[in-house]
Amino acid sequence: MMRAPRWVAVWVIPVVLAGFASGARGQVIERELRERVVPRITIAIAGFAPFAMNGADLGKLGESVLAADLRFTTIFDVMDPATLPFDPRTVQLDQERPLFPGLNSLKVQHLVVGQVGSRGHEAVVEGRLFDVTTGNMVFGKRYVGDPKFYRLIIHRFADDILFNLTGEKGVAQTRIAFVSAVTRTAKEIFVMDYDGASPVAITGNQSINLSPRWSPDGRLIAYTSYRNGNPDLFVLNFDSGRRDVLSAQRGLNVTPGWSPDGQWLAFAMSASGGTNLFLIPKSGGTPKPLTTGPAISVSPSFSPNGRQIVFNSDRGGSPQIYVVDVEGTNLRRLTFQGNYNASPRWSPRGEKILFMCRLAGNQICLMNPDGTGLQQLTTAGSNEDPSWSPDGRHIVFASTRTGHRDLFVMHADGTEQTRLTNNGRDNYLPDWSP
């Protein structure tokens, strides 16, 4: 039985808790981002003294992963340890308060203290967060788990810090599914941490597997596989390890997209002539047509309210982005600039549509749901297959800028484009988990 990697955590320390507006044509994303910006929080990390377990220094690793997680949020300014008025590695639990005056002088708002230990064969992280100004502990938890899932324990700590200070759900515990060309003929689906660590294959049939899509609850992945000789639509259940065939009509059964409630999948099927979009219950059944005609329509993505589906189609002569109501009515074209626009993805909050645009090569673009406000986010290499993080602050995509197709991540405004994969293979078609 195949299961997704999981961490185990318990806590024993008491917790102490201290409009979108659409714009005119040409409006860019900066306004929307400003409306959502949380003022940056200055934070210092201490504790995490060296602690060896299974040949690794869990103290050093914990501090490194936690700092990277907090920086990635775009909400925290993490202090350089060298600038602190004390050696952060020597800080002990229950000895934090004498540090506050020095941190206040540096205008540090919060202090994170982590202590790493073990309990039998398990790794233990004691994590605390303090408000430097008031001297109060914001929260404390004890995390316990298998050392091989230690990074996930730290990711949980990072997400807890973010939630307790902002009320926002973090992405440090999320994962990215993607396709990797393991041989010239085999394309397998992998799952990795959001930062590119710990990739694990979830298919191994030595066939072609494509277009993984997470269900809204993160327990299922829909994908297309040629394992039986035809591009059939499968659903993998991580809890049971079952792989069910959802659609095996002769011809294409490709590019699935989940409804927000997780009860339906939209996908492209060619059995009826042309390649059109259909809806099918997650438990299977007779597909319901959304589009008709001889054109090729693929890559459906539901709006967050579940009322509309954005997709790309060549019904106008070249691949362009269209939107249709879930009843199959009110179909309309959104893109008119460029001769090739594809792979649209609705943002988690519904305010933007992400897609691949052919503007001086294949690039990643954003637009408003009505087709206005086009913004190009990438310029280097050939870029495709964009997918949103669940908080809408980040984008993962495939790019050829390294010579292979590798996965990159960037902030939603196009800044901080960072490479995630470096395995010497082509990696593409990423999908970010909820």
Distance CA 366, CA 242 (A): 36
- Separation in Å, CA 45 to CA 66, 111, 198, 217, 286: 8, 6, 24, 32, 55
Predicted pLDDT at 14: 32
- Do 231 and 276 fall within a single domain? yes
* Single-letter amino acid code for the residue at 6: R
Is residue 110 domain-shared with residue 216, that is, in the same domain? no
Q: Are residues 180 and 281 in the same domain?
A: yes
Sheet containing strand 76-78, edge to edge, reads 76-78, 41-47, 110-119, 122-131, 137-145
**233/118 same-domain check:** no
**Structural domain span for residue 151:** 30-166
Distance CA 284, CA 298 (A): 20
Residues 236 and 375 placed together within one structural domain of the fold: yes
**Domain ends where: 124, 142, 166?**
166
Residue 78 shares a structural domain with residue 226 = no
CATH number of the domain at 358, please: 2.120.10.30
| Predicted local distance difference test score (pLDDT) of residue 38 | 55
DSSP 398: E
Pair 308, 409 in one domain:
yes
d(CA 57, CA 122): 14
pLDDT 10s per residue in the chain (434 long)? Answer: 333 333 334 433 333 222 323 333 334 444 444 444 557 999 999 999 999 998 999 999 999 999 999 999 999 999 999 999 999 999 999 999 999 999 999 999 999 999 999 999 999 999 999 999 999 999 999 999 999 999 999 999 999 999 999 999 999 999 999 999 999 999 999 999 999 999 999 999 999 999 999 999 999 999 999 999 999 999 999 999 999 999 999 999 999 999 999 999 999 999 878 999 999 999 999 999 999 999 999 999 999 999 999 999 999 999 999 999 999 999 999 999 999 999 999 999 999 999 999 998 999 999 999 999 999 999 999 999 999 999 999 999 999 999 999 999 999 999 999 999 999 999 999 999 99
Is residue 372 domain-shared with residue 237, that is, in the same domain? Answer: yes
Answer whether residue 4 is part of any domain: no
**Max Cα-Cα span within the chain:** 74
Q: Is 261 a domain residue?
A: yes
Q: What is the CATH number of the domain that holds 162?
A: 3.40.50.10070
For residues 60 and 190, membership in a common domain is answered with no
Residue with tokens 């929260």: 139
Evaluate whether 433 touches 214 at the Cβ level (below 8 Å).
Answer: yes
Which amino acid would we find at residue 216?
P
Same domain membership, residue 106 and residue 142: yes
Residues 101 and 155 placed together within one structural domain of the fold: yes
Last residue within a domain, chosen from 124, 139, 166:
166
- DSSP, collapsed to helix, strand or coil, labels residue 188 as strand
Residues 268 and 143 in one domain: no
- Domain total of the chain: 2
